[in-house]
Chains A and B, each alone.
Chain A
Amino acid sequence: MSVSGFAGWLRDTLLRLAPHATATGLRAVGRPGPDSPVVLTGNYTLTVRRLVEALAGRDAWLLVADSRGINVWCAAGGGHLTHHDVIAVLRSSGVGERVRHRRLILPQLAATGIERRLVREATGWEPRWGPARLEDLPEFFDRHERPRKAQRAMRFPLWERLEMALMWAWPMALGAFLILTLAFGHRVATVGAGVIVLGVGAVFAGLPWLPVTGGRRWLMYGGLALVTLAAGGEGLLALGAARPAALAGLAATCALAAGILSLDLTGTTPWYPGTINSFRNHFDVELVEDRCTGAAECVQVCPREVLAMDGPRRKVVLARPGACIRCGACIVQCPEDALRFRFSDGRVVEPGTVRSTRVNLLGRRAVPLAAPPRTPS
């Protein structure tokens, strides 16, 4: 990695929680020609930089749509990267005059926001979903623009978990360091900031094995507070700074850090459902089987392999409902409106509402079920 590449990585990683916009429009990767593929993404600096790196050595057109400086997944889920933005950049960038074909590769994780049909109808371009992770793009192109089934599923490797840990840890550690310095001096502050970094790092490193969803997550966060306190207490003893007031300050710091993480740690990952929307009232994706015609658009966009085709019956089935992260992509894409959200109190969010407001404030959008599901006539 070059010095400027490292500086870019550091800036993008540390500021990952905040929008960070780069210029929209058409960019050339390598020396693309009229038959080179066109890959669309949002204008989140980190993603654009990684895409250019992933496509190094290849010739492609990169079409950067306006996602308000937010990564494609969060932007699509929040309604900030939709077919309107795709149509806008297709038309205003002049890409149609640079290439002979009309194939457009969309990021699969933008499926909550982008309705392919509306892009096709407005522009004549033929959008198709690329792989879930951009580093699979080279193989995707080698396979004539078809993802392997496994490449439709999201992965959350250790290096990315540690990047997420860094994103979470440094603001908390910095805040703790400043406050503890004022109250107890720099030695206590260094220990407090240090255990936050180690604790957050350990949680993200061990994420696949920890109970971060469901009621048992409270045990996990309580355990985290206690373990970091114990480690910090050892540190204070070693430094000879283990006064009662300093220990109490450290305990408050550890409890606060665990509390902040517990708000919605899972919601910042691409692997677990966020807990904010379902804090009091759980909801799931519901399949209205009568409406399903087996179009399988949902199977193509699900990043967690929740949905699968039951071939002989020509119906989709919820094969792994426990893995669902409730991103809503399947609901938006289903041409028959056969999927929707259902809350545990019986209220539902119908596909039309999800297409309009995406997954924003889902609880507020939920309405009582109006009529029994349609039956085949």
Chain B
Amino acid sequence: MSTYVYMKVLESAPERYDRGIHRLSGGTIASIYERVAERVAAPGRRVLDVGCGTGGVALACAARGARVVGIDVNPGMLSVARDKAARRLPAPDVDWIELGAMELEDRFAPGSFDAVTSCLAFSELSPDERRYVLRVALRLLHPGGSLVIADEVPPRRRAARVWRRVRRLPVVFMTWALTQTSTHPVGGLADAVRAAGFADVVEERLGRDDFAIVSGRRAAGAS
């Protein structure tokens, strides 16, 4: 069974994930976690973070007093998240669960959450999977609850898209070589959120038009 590239290197990737994402985001990732958290987290609010990874958004929400559930398929990432939670917060109210985004309906009843968040996880999903997860997220939200997705997106102008690729190539290569972490832009995010039935969908662009925070709401009267 092959080991160099796939195991000896990737295996310890969770421990290097934070470093890789910090580098790829040009040092802005921590502020993005905070921006997502400030939109949804308040004492007692129930927040679900889909694809929580090493717990960036989940911990930012917990620090604001929210009751957080962080799900991820990677036990290594969750283990790093648990360690970080124990180090940073005195009594974090976070449940870390090894669960796929497509398995949410098996675990949580409709209306279980006041907010659903996801940061740099939707870009890991196929278009089919994004549609599926958005439909499930809508059901899991309490009426009036909000969805906030933060992810890399392709810039709107073609020239900017080309320039972004060129500019990032050395950073992406070096980051992958050192940390085996990479990210991919996801197109049509706001449209996908609207198509899933969310109301009041707003897309805020950050960085060089290559990062977006998309928010939406489950309409209060929705069943």
Contact = CB atoms under 8 A, between A and B. Distances in A.
Interface of A: 17-19, 23-25, 66, 70-71, 73-75, 77-80, 82, 84-85, 87-88, 91-94, 122, 263-264, 267-268, 270, 273-274, 276-277, 325, 327, 356-357, 359-361
B2 A267 contact: yes
B82 interface: no
Contacts of B76: 79, 357, 360
A360 B132 contact: no
B74 interface: yes
A70 B102 CA distance: 21
Nearest to A73: B1
B86 interface: no
Residue from B6, B12, B74, B99 having most chain A Cβ neighbours under 10 A: B6
A92 B131 CA distance: 8
Given A78-B7, A270-B1, 5 more contacts: A25-B128, A78-B10, A87-B102, A92-B129, A92-B132
B76 to A, nearest CB: 7
Residue from B4, B99, B128 having most chain A Cβ neighbours under 10 A: B128
B2 A87 contact: no
Nearest to B4: A264
Contacts of A66: 126
Contacts of A17: 2, 4-5
A25 B102 CA distance: 14
A91 B102 contact: yes
B91 to A, nearest CB: 26
A264 B1 CA distance: 10
Contacts of A84: 73, 99-100, 102-103
Contacts of B75: 79, 356-357
Contacts of A24: 126, 128-129
B3 A361 contact: no
B189 interface: no
27 contacts: A17-B4, A18-B5, A24-B129, A25-B128, A73-B1, A75-B6, A77-B7, A79-B75, A82-B73, A84-B100, A85-B73, A85-B100, A88-B103, A94-B128, A122-B106, A264-B4, A268-B2, A268-B3, A270-B1, A273-B1, A274-B3, A276-B4, A277-B3, A327-B1, A357-B75, A360-B12, A360-B76
Contact of A87 (B1, B103, B128): B103
B8 interface: yes
Contact of B12 (A75, A263, A361): A361
Interface string B1-29: 11111111011100000000000000000
Interface in B79-112: 98-103, 106
Tier of interface size on chain B = 20 to 34
B5 to A, nearest CB: 6
A92 B12 contact: no
B1 A325 contact: yes
Residue from B12, B76, B102, B106 having most chain A Cβ neighbours under 10 A: B102
A93 B129 CA distance: 8
Contact of A359 (B7, B106, B128, B131): B7
Contact of B128 (A82, A92, A273, A356): A92
A359 B102 contact: no
Nearest to A264: B3
A17 B9 CA distance: 13
Nearest to B73: A84
Contact of B100 (A78, A79, A80, A88): A88
Nearest to A360: B11
A91 B129 CA distance: 8
A234 to B, nearest CB: 32
Contact of B101 (A71, A88, A93): A88
A66 B12 CA distance: 20
Contacts of A88: 100-103, 129
Nearest to B3: A267
Contacts of B101: 88
A301 B78 CA distance: 29
A68 B21 CA distance: 18
Contact of A77 (B1, B4, B102, B129): B1
A360 B76 CA distance: 10
Contacts of A79: 11, 74-76
Contacts of B126: 23-25, 66, 92
Given A17-B5, A77-B7, A327-B1, A91 B106 contact: no
Given A74-B7, A92-B128, A274 B1 contact: yes
A52 B131 CA distance: 27
Contacts of A19: 5-6
